[in-house]
Chains A and B, each alone.
Chain A
Amino acid sequence: DQQVKQNSPSLSVQEGRISILNCDYTNSMFDYFLWYKKYPAEGPTFLISISSIKDKNEDGRFTVFLNKSAKHLSLHIVPSQPGDSAVYFCAASANYGGSQGNLIFGKGTKLSVKP
């Protein structure tokens, strides 16, 4: 049973436009969410995170939005650049009585930014 779902395996966007990557989760105990980016033949790299006490976090061209009632988060990249072409993983962890659980990853979305 998938607790973190990235329903779009791939996304293609024109350079300069906005990229929106979506992630849904089922576990209401999740209270911390992260996005990782992965290039081929490399390990994932941390991109941005958000805690459940916020609904938005911004870092340069990257913004993550969290909608707790819908159990949905999204990553916006504006403007998109060809170097953003990578696989993006959404991940979440839950707090169980003060102890943070391990990260659960989605299957990833492959973003292609066309020049």
Chain B
Amino acid sequence: DAGITQSPRHKVTETGTPVTLRCHQTENHRYMYWYRQDPGHGLRLIHYSYGVKDTDKGEVSDGYSVSRSKTEDFLLTLESATSSQTSVYFCAISRTGMNTEAFFGQGTRLTVV
């Protein structure tokens, strides 16, 4: 299995609170991604990174920010959580970009109440 660890695996938080999800990799891959999975929507890209301090928005980036200060860590922050951000969040990594094989973490189930 690719070395990807997401933390926490489960979290319940209240509306309006900030939340940070962490993705840690031991593969030294250049690209890292945050997706969310919701019923009826499949997987949707939130943000991605193509190097340390190099990030860009995906298709559903509103309400989210990211940071990548080290190759191995990619943080996803919900500045002020809303109920619409209740979802399962997946981190993914790839060596040369998403058009090649990408490895996904096990996911973080976030519930905003």
Contact = CB atoms under 8 A, between A and B. Distances in A.
A107 B42 CA distance: 4
Given A106-B42, A107-B42, A100 B97 contact: yes
- Interface of A (DSSP majority class): strand
Interface in B40-69: 40-45, 48, 58-59
A89 B48 contact: no
Contacts of B103: 43, 45-46
A105 B42 contact: yes
Contacts of A93: 98-99
A105 B44 contact: yes
Interface residues of A, number: 23
A44 B48 contact: no
Contacts of B92: 43
Interface in B91-111: 92, 97-107
B99 A43 contact: no
Contacts of A44: 43, 90, 104
Contacts of B101: 34, 46, 49
A70 B62 CA distance: 34
Most buried by A among B42, B45, B101, B104: B42
Interface of B: 4, 33, 40-45, 48, 58-59, 90, 92, 97-107
